[in-house]
Amino acid sequence: MASSPPTATLTPRTWTRDNSPFFISNDPKLISVKAVNEAFGKDFLYWTKPFPEDVLHQMLHGSMSFGVYKRLQPEQTQTEPETLTTENTEQIGLARMITDGISFGYLSDTYVLPEYQGDGLGRWLIDCVAEVFSLESMPHLRRIMLLTSGQRLEEFYGQTLGVKVVGHEPRPDIGKDLVFMNAKPTAKPTARPALG
């Protein structure tokens, strides 16, 4: 008889750093469809255009979306932690894992807004994704995939997610040579080998 699905890995998580207004979260309640759509309209996201808001809502909520957020109010010393909401945060980045939450993840729509780039937020974001998409938190994980462009990002994703290049897709329409990257998480010696 089928048991309940192992949804524990889908429990939303939030990552913070001392004295930083920035945090990462995969809590769907914090996603700002408006902020993401505004970013999708900018040239630096060369692979996409904005979507109708209800369509983008479905895309973001039908995936495991990791947001990079900035607290809008200075942190105060309180005994109770401040409750984070869309009202007191601004979404400044995204990494969207299209996933069944168990065995597979396709990483898409990764960005940090240009004014916040180059300060380590992108690496922190993908480190958080890697923490969730690991055999430790997803014991049945079989494969992670993504598309990217450029040597620097190939190396970055190799370091953070352990993915390797498995194919190329020349895209003259957007002036890019895209690469497919893929990782099969290494099974622990005690675990059954992943076959997918």
Ligand X SMILES: CC(C)(COP(=O)(O)OP(=O)(O)OC[C@H]1O[C@@H](n2cnc3c(N)ncnc32)[C@H](O)[C@@H]1OP(=O)(O)O)[C@@H](O)C(=O)NCCC(=O)NCCS
Give min distance, CB of 52 to ligand X, in A.
Answer: 22
| Residue number with the smallest Cβ distance to ligand X | 122
Residues 132 and 66: their CA atoms lie apart, in Å, by 10
Give min distance, CB of 46 to ligand X, in A.
Answer: 7
Strand-strand pairing, 22-25 and 14-16: antiparallel
Closest CA to 113 of 86, 85, 90: 90
Give min distance, CB of 45 to ligand X, in A.
Answer: 6
For residues 59 and 187, which CB has a smaller minimum distance to ligand X in the complex?
59
For residues 112 and 138, which CB has a smaller minimum distance to ligand X in the complex?
112
For residues 118 and 172, which CB has a smaller minimum distance to ligand X in the complex?
118
Note the Cα 56 to chain centre separation in Å: 15
Contact residues toward ligand X (CB under 6 A) are 44-45, 110-112, 117-123, 148, 150, 152-153, 156
Give min distance, CB of 24 to ligand X, in A.
Answer: 11
Contact residues for 187 (Cβ-Cβ < 8 A; gap 6+): 135, 193, 194
Check if the beta carbon of residue 44 is closer than 8 Å to that of residue 114.
Answer: yes
Give, in degrees to the nearest 5, the angle at Cα 94 between 21 and 128.
Answer: 70
Give min distance, CB of 94 to ligand X, in A.
Answer: 9
Give all strands (DSSP E) within the chain, no chain letters. Answer: 14-16, 22-25, 64-71, 89-99, 104-112, 143-149, 164-171, 176-183
For residues 107 and 138, which CB has a smaller minimum distance to ligand X in the complex?
107
For residues 10 and 154, which CB has a smaller minimum distance to ligand X in the complex?
154
